[in-house]
Amino acid sequence: MGGTERLIGTLGKEHPEMFDKIVKILQLYYHYDLISEEVVTKWGTKASKKYVDLATSKKVRKAAEPFLKWLAEAEEEESSEEEDE
């Protein structure tokens, strides 16, 4: 996740449209089981200056919000289906 954050953050400085690509990248990571729900959810909860400056980290996570929201809603839907069974 840190490498992706660094890539998007670096490319985004000259090409701001790159921030919009994070949702698709995360979807593909998730679809191909390269990241787990727990990892991406934890990553999305708190910006970090470990890989990029804090402002860039916040910007990447803000751009990732649609994916994080989708993931949370899918998890809620799945757990309510399990309760119905």
Q: pLDDT value at position 80? A: 67
Residues 6+ away with beta carbon under 8 Å from 44: 61, 64, 65, 68
Place of tokens 């990553």: 43
Place of tokens 């727990």: 38
Q: Exposed, middle or buried by CB within 10 Å (0-12, 13-18, 19+), for 59?
A: buried
Q: pLDDT value at position 77? A: 75
- pLDDT single digits (tens) 10-33: 999 999 999 999 999 999 999 999
Q: What is the pTM of this model?
A: 0.85
